[in-house]
Amino acid sequence: MATFLYRIGRSAYLHRWRFIAAWLLLIIGMGTAAATLSQQTSTTFSIPGLESIETQEAMQERFAGSEDQLQAPTGTVVIQAPEGTTLTDPAVSGTVDAFLADVRELDYLTATDAIVNPVLAAEGMTQQMTEAKAAQGLPPEQIEADIAALSPLSEDETTGTVQVEFAAESTMEVEAADQEAFADLVTEYQDTLTIAYSGNAFQMNEISATGEIIGIAVAAVILTLTFGSLIAAGMPLLTGVTGVGIGIAGIFAATRFTDTINTMTPTLASMIGLAVGIDYALFIVSRYRTELVKYIGGNDLEPRELAAKLKEIDFRQRAHLAGLAVGKAGSAVVFAGLTVLIALAALSIINIPFLTAMALSAAATVAIAVLVAITLLPAILGAVGTKVFGVRIGGVKAPDPEDEKPTMGLKWVRRVRAHPILIGAASILLLILLALPAVNLRLAMPSDGTTAPDTPNRVAYDITAEKFGPGRNAPMIAFVDTLAVPEEERPAAWATAAMDIQSIDGVLNAQIIEPNEAGDAAQVLITPEYGATDERAADVLESIRGGVGDFEAQTGGTYSVTGVTPIYEDISERLSEVLLPYVGIVLALAFLLLMLVFRSIWVPLIAALGFALSVAATFGLTVAIWQEGWLGIVSDPQPVISFLPIMLIGIVFGLAMDYQVFLVTRMREGWVHGKTAHNAVSNGFKHGARVVTAAALIMMSVFAAFMTIDEQFIKVMGFALAVAVFFDAFIVRMTIIPAVMFLLGENAWKIPRWLDRILPTVDVEGSALEEKNDDDNVAGGPDESRDAVAAGRHSSMTVADQSPTAGKHEDRGETSDGGAGSRQRD
């Protein structure tokens, strides 16, 4: 792999304008596709095969005009009178009439004749339902309860509801301009009335670039401190933004061909793609700087000195060095990117369409980031040429990666080396304690009740809960199927279903609202006592479904439950069921991949266990702060979004393997070159810690910046990813891993001979490149600098050096020159 990537990197450097032109054409093409094919993203979530979904499909077949609960372009407008008045007051009623008259004039709404003043609507409903239910022989108290469960006017007459429907096939077809126009109309009346709205039709598809901008700004500062040069710092930013732009354009273009792309999908892909895109480019540019310094032969060069020395290097030799950077760091980039791709793509096994779309979109963006890093980045390095480390920032030292002076990383790892048991055990205990709140993890799907408190959707939700009861926000529908029941007994069976359901604890009201035309089925509207975000609503649903057996034995009919709340509860349950199996798959995958790369049993084992610890601690802290409201940081605690844990595991797995690969490959590189196991860990940590620290800080900044977006899922995901990167990079990879490896010593790199023979060789360290000069690797044209290279500017390594079973490892010591068999300093 390293040799292949070397050829790509060197070719991109030499033929820089061809590569840059190809990427420009791709950018233009994807931008055009997005502009011409893009449609509204979906605002709903659905999983085929769930009981609630199958019930909804059966209702659509048996009931004419029955709509998809998640896709119907409908909404509810909540109108509240000023404090101290009611909607029946003449002045207030007149203002309501004026508002509704304006609403009826909106040409993007349909069925406007049904939009009437809630007071009048309530009066008409009361009259009609009283007569109809009295004819059924229902007692007055039951009639009163049934009317209250459906009335558009609150009991204190201060609040009313109006149903509206947009002239669109589904929520995806509702134009953003129409949503904004409706919001503008509402604003005109907010001085005299409190008006809010909720429902499918008002799920806004707003895309904000605030998170990206903040993340890029912070990344720019970190990169500048890392390289001491604006040009070098700008290249990871340029390539990172390019990759994300292409990926997001592709996602929007794909909305023409699928309706599974959710409104959160582009933001999630942008978050992941930007973070890994900048990091991958950072690793390659940093390695390029390392190769330059090794070739020049100087130590402790400031950016200005490095820039001056760079001008003395022949162009083709610079291309060779760029090829080495891509071959070595690029190998780790490709492997790290593959781990992210595999972890995300594995989510498609769960067979949840919207989750698959989110995962594959993010995976595609990561794949583009990898391609950009190994092709476009070296081409830009070639275009910039000797100015790559120019435009120096005054006061920024940017330490040399080959500086012999002890770095902060080396000082830290020496401390870990001195007390591996104490530091390792303390770190593990800390993560375990942080993970404890995860036992209270409660999952829920995003709804109006989980939006920001000051949004119209949340205001409408809260007013409805206060004035009509929490259950008005979480209606359920029981589909009573009496096809197998004798025709004359069907009405009685429907009534039995309603009475049985209403007798269940937690059910406020259950009433028959509609029989079908064939007379063999009916719908029972169920109003629970609890809201959609209350975990007790799930218990009520389970109790209702648990009574089906008795109802069937009693009447011969059956019923099943659907509605937005049951659908979301079923989705949450399905995601909970697959969470642990997915964790197992990811951990097994991590072990196998790392065993392949490092040819060791212990290294992948401790890496996988470390990943489990960082994820558990992330869940614990996320639950404590965002769900339980610890420390008072979050003013509006909510259940964790149902698909966040499984997405978090897939993403963090890939990121964890990134840092594992970049740190441990440098350790193994030293080990196969003759260092003792302890010195290899220290020296590898010294060379990898600075760039991994910068990469982790960039990722944390990018993820944390997305917390500025006014979307609960994105806020929590940004927080959780930022925390996960912190735990995994600084506590697991930079503390626990070296501590355990110090304890294992030479055993860390042992592997059974039979397993070593059957595992394919993956040269992630780029060891093969060390024994080849420019002419050996690339045919075509002499290299004017080959003599300098052959003279030993790049260290060579024999086949014996690469073998983890070479006998010389047993007698390694510590020297300052790094030679095998002598004593090496860390």
pLDDT reported for residue 802: 37
Strands (E), 670-766: none
- Greater confidence (356 vs 373) lies with 373
pLDDT at position 825 is 43
Phi, psi (5° rounding) for residue 659?
A: -70, -35
Quick one: pLDDT at residue 196? 93
Residues 624-653: tens digit of each pLDDT: 998 888 888 887 788 888 878 887 887 787
Residue 63 burial (CB count, 10 A) = 18
Handedness of CA 756, 762, 766, 768 (dihedral sign): positive
- Give mean pLDDT, residues 709-717: 78
Residues 536, 506 contacting (CB under 8 angstroms): yes
State both tokens at 8.
Answer: 């790509």
The pLDDT of residue 665 is 77
Say what the pLDDT of residue 779 is: 38
Q: Would you say the C-alpha torsion 350, 354, 359, 360 has a positive or negative sign? A: positive
Backbone angles phi, psi at 638, to 5 degrees: -140, 160
Residue 286: per-residue pLDDT? 82
Query: Which pLDDT belongs to residue 823?
Result: 38
Residues contacting residue 482 through CB under 8 Å, at least 6 positions apart:
489, 490, 493, 494, 520, 521, 522, 555, 556, 557
pLDDT over threshold 90, residue 342: no
Q: Which two tokens stand for residue 459?
A: 């205001």
pLDDT score of 757: 83
Contacts of 12 (CB under 8 A, 6+ apart): 19, 322, 326, 374, 375, 376, 377, 378, 379, 382
Closest CA to 333 of 298, 290, 286: 286
Q: Over range 525-553, report the average pLDDT.
A: 90
Cα atoms in the Cβ-side hemisphere of radius 13 Å centred on 720: 33
pLDDT at 93: 93
- The chain-wide mean pLDDT, for the chain, equals 81
* pLDDT of 800: 33
Average pLDDT over residues 276-286: 84
**Domain assignments of the chain as residue spans, ordered by start:** 2-39+208-444+584-758, 74-167+174-204
**Residue 392 backbone phi and psi in degrees, to 5:** -70, 145
pLDDT at 279: 81
Supply the pLDDT for residue 88: 92
Q: Is the pLDDT of residue 303 over 70?
A: no
- Residue 792 — very low, low, confident or very high, per pLDDT cuts 50/70/90? very low
Answer for the pair 702, 271: CB distance below 8 angstroms, yes or no: yes
Q: What is the pTM of this model?
A: 0.74
Q: What is 286-299 written as a DSSP string?
A: HHHHHHHHHHHT-S
Tell me: pLDDT of 812 over 50: no
Here the tokens at position 509 are 């009201």
Q: What's the rounded mean pLDDT across residues 773-792?
A: 38
pLDDT tier at 212, thresholds 50, 70, 90: low
CB 241 within 8 A of CB 17: no
Query: How does pLDDT run across 160-191, given as a tens digit for each residue?
Result: 999 999 988 777 778 888 888 999 999 999 88
Please determine, for residue 772, whether its predicted confidence score (pLDDT) is greater than 80.
no
The confidence score (pLDDT) of residue 644 equals 83
Which pLDDT band, with edges at 50, 70 and 90, does 402 fall under?
very low
pLDDT digits (tens, 9 = 90+) for 559-579: 999 988 898 888 888 888 888
* Residue-level pLDDT at 784: 37
Element of type H or E holding 660: helix 644-672
> What is the rounded average pLDDT of the residues 742-749?
88
- Would you list the DSSP string of 556-611? S-EEEEESHHHHHHHHHHHHHHHHHHHHHHHHHHHHHHHHHHH--SHHHHHHHHHH
Q: What is the pLDDT of residue 783?
A: 38
Contact 248, 269 (CB under 8 A): yes
Q: Looking at residue 46, what is its pLDDT?
A: 60
Residues 394-416, mean pLDDT to the nearest whole number: 67
State the amino acid at position 251 in one-letter form.
I
**Burial (CB count within 10 angstroms: exposed 0-12, middle 13-18, buried 19+), residue 360:** buried
| Residue pLDDT, tens place only, 40-73 | 666 555 666 788 888 988 898 888 777 777 778 8
Cα separation of 215 and 277, whole Å?
A: 12
Question: Which residue has tokens 């309860």?
Answer: 145
Average pLDDT on 260-277 reads 78
Residue 571 in tokens: 């989705």
Tokens (6 digits) for 808? 């010389």
What confidence tier does 423 reach under pLDDT thresholds 50, 70, 90? very high
Rounded distance, CA 614 to CA 696, Å?
A: 14
Between 181 and 532, name the one with better pLDDT: 181
Q: What is the pLDDT of residue 312?
A: 79
| pLDDT at residue 138 greater than cutoff 70 | yes
Q: How confident is the model at residue 798 (pLDDT cuts 50, 70, 90)?
A: very low
Does the pLDDT value for residue 667 go beyond 80? yes
Could you tell me the pLDDT band of residue 301, with boundaries at 50, 70 and 90?
low
Measured from the Cβ of residue 84, the count of other Cβ atoms closer than 10 Å reads 7
Angle at 374 between CA 369 and CA 376, to 5 degrees: 80
Residues 6+ apart with CB under 8 A from 494: 480, 482, 512, 515, 522, 524
What per-residue confidence (pLDDT) applies to 767?
62
Q: What is the largest CA-CA distance in the chain?
A: 104
Grade residue 12 by pLDDT with cuts at 50, 70 and 90.
very high
